[in-house]
Structure 1
Amino acid sequence: MSTHRNAADHSLPEEKPLPQGRRFDALLKWLSLHARTACRGVVLLVCSALFLAGSSSVFSLPFIPSWKSMEPGFEIGSFAIGRQKGIEKHVVIARFDPELFDFVAVSAMFPGKKMQTLRDWVQSENLVAAINAGMFRENGLTHTGLFRFGELVNNSHVAERFGAFFVALPHGEGKLPRAAVLDRTADDWQEILPRYAVAVQNFRLIGADGTSPWRGRGEEHPVSAVGMDLKGRILFIHCREAVSVSFLAESLIALPLDLKQTMYVEGGSEASLAVREGEKMYVWSGRGKGDLLPNGFLLPNIIGVRRRSQEKVPVQVNAEPGQK
């Protein structure tokens, strides 16, 4: 998990997220104590990762140059965003119509919940998609900005350095979008936030004016983000290759996505996106240390998507989009 300090939103680094290498460093320590047995296990683990990368994970599938309809109101596509350091970069985007789908914020801190891989969050919460909600503090559970779902609260603190909010499930009087990404510098967020059941805060990637506050090359890493387009659709965005955040932001602005406000949610190996199509599951994870973990990292907090009326469907993994 990465933190970044080169954006306009980062002027007050008051939070201290858990370093992304801590869990992997613990694994390395274990390996050093159990070298002979562990090496055999690592070989199996790497083989499993390679098998998954070659057969079941979405990131291994052929390039999708435009949108593929998964079901009414839910589309997925992959797009080339140019080259950085001689390497072609791509983004995978899941796009949802909020009139047909609800958005939830779920945390391992909530009653009856526990840390799970993103794949398992999708299964256990009856979701059609999920994305890592973002960075967390050293206790491994508390989100670094505001995070709540109705009366269930992970963090009630509005972080000064975070310039975006994702909100969903409006209540009370007045017409509001069923889901939205707010720009703290442009929207009346103090009046709007109490009118939504779901509120998740993080860095601003693209502002209401269609520009990005991120400048310079900066650190490169995989990135996940949540955006909103001009039609009010919500986009879950994932770039598996390492990119600078400014490069990703400018690339997204250049794509024919009609993006408005967009919120950065996670960077590094833990940046991830999962979607399901009927009984089939597809998962993208950031390249890096997570490649040794075929099922991905255990995540404490996620943003999920549910059909507005649905029954729980068993998930079959190791499938490709479009297969029946």
Structure 2
Amino acid sequence: MSAFLLRAVFTCLVLCAPVASLHAEEWRLLAPGLELREFLIPDQVGDLEGRQSGMAVLRIDSDRFDVALGSALGTGRMRSMQEWARHSGFVAVINAGMFRADDRMRSTGYMRDAAVMINSFIHPNYGAFLAFQPRDPSLPALRWVDRKSDPDWQAVLADYDGIIQNYRLISRERENLWEPSDRRHSGAAIAMDREGRLLFIHCRARLSLHEFAQALIDLPLDLIGAMYVEGGADAAMYVDVDGFVGRFVGEYRSDFFQGSNKNFWPAPNVLGIRPK
């Protein structure tokens, strides 16, 4: 067998291997109602060099944690994830959505809470909403809204002070909504499982959106929906609870930059959790 053919076979094996079959830690209890699990998956940009990176999944019980926005419009400036956690008293924080090119403090999708309207425009191409901070305490603390599946989505949004809107990665029927692509980068996502738990997800490995979505389907997470909230070096997650500190930063979108990113970049809008 030629060296070229051997390389092609190896490439196929790496790219086609199901993510769930690769190494994963068990769920680690960080605090009551807060668990972390890390999966080791191939970085599709560097797989032939044997590089692998992690996908960190933080699973959150909404009965034990409140969800809130951190907003540069509301507080006056952008902050790193670590700074947002300290400023707002969050024990975990992740990007709330992508920012506009012409106004970095505003999100590309609809976003608000009781204190500030960050973007009043409902993006026609963004199909996922997370609703939090219910106006009636008898309502669920969190609602996942799939605009394509939920005919009452507008009524649901009206019942909550906190709303973020982003691209869907998967449908409620667990379909991968993205076509294969050669454009790969780190990513961050927010999701919900069938038990109503919120998940913050950070993937250091550089994957296309199709590969990212498929990983979320293949992993044992039992999701009903997932939204893409940021990519590249801007994608970040931070956890600081009961003596555990986790720093999860994204990688550059290409190899144009020499070396790897190791720092949090300032974020204009974040979603964080606090113990109730």
Q: 5 Å matches for 1:2-151?
A: 65-81=25-41, 84=44, 86=47, 87-110=51-74, 112-137=75-100, 138-151=102-115
Distance in 1 between residues matched to 2:243 and 2:157, nearest whole Å: 35
Distance in 1 between residues matched to 2:43 and 2:264, nearest whole Å: 26
Correspondence for 1:302 among 267, 270, 273: 270
> CA 1:223–1:107 in structure 2 vs 1: closer, same or farther (change >3 Å)?
same
Indicate the SS of the match to 2:274: strand
Normalising by structure 1, report the TM-score: 0.71
Residue identity over aligned pairs, in percent, reads 34
4+ residue runs of structure 1 moved beyond 6 angstroms? 290-293
- 1:239 aligns to what? 203
Contact 1:290 1:297 in 2 (8 A): no
Aligned residue identity for 1:245: L
Distance in 2 between residues matched to 1:132 and 1:263, nearest whole Å: 11
Contact 1:180 1:234 in 2 (8 A): no
> By how many angstroms is 1:219 displaced?
1.1
Indicate the SS of the match to 2:93: strand
Aligned residue identity for 1:241: A
Distance in 1 between residues matched to 2:178 and 2:54, nearest whole Å: 19
Aligned residues: 244
Contact 1:204 1:262 in 2 (8 A): yes
Distance in 2 between residues matched to 1:77 and 1:141, nearest whole Å: 31
Q: 5 Å matches for 1:170-319?
A: 170-172=134-136, 175-187=138-150, 188-288=152-252, 294-308=262-276
Distance in 1 between residues matched to 2:81 and 2:161, nearest whole Å: 22
> By how many angstroms is 1:107 displaced?
0.8
| 5+ residue gaps, structure 2 | 1-22
Choose 84-93 or 268-277, whichever is displaced more.
84-93
Distance in 2 between residues matched to 1:133 and 1:183, nearest whole Å: 17
The two structures, once aligned, show a CA RMSD in angstroms of: 2.0
- 2:7 aligns to what? none
Contact 2:37 2:58 in 1 (8 A): yes
Normalising by structure 2, report the TM-score: 0.83
Aligned residue identity for 2:80: T
| 5+ residue gaps, structure 1 | 1-62, 309-324
What is the CA deviation profile of residues 94-146 of structure 1, one whole-angstrom value per residue up to 9, with x for unaligned ones?
A: 11000000111121001x34211111001110001000112111221111111
Aligned residue identity for 1:301: N
What is the CA deviation profile of residues 235-268 of structure 1, one whole-angstrom value per residue up to 9, with x for unaligned ones?
A: 0001012111111111111111111111110011
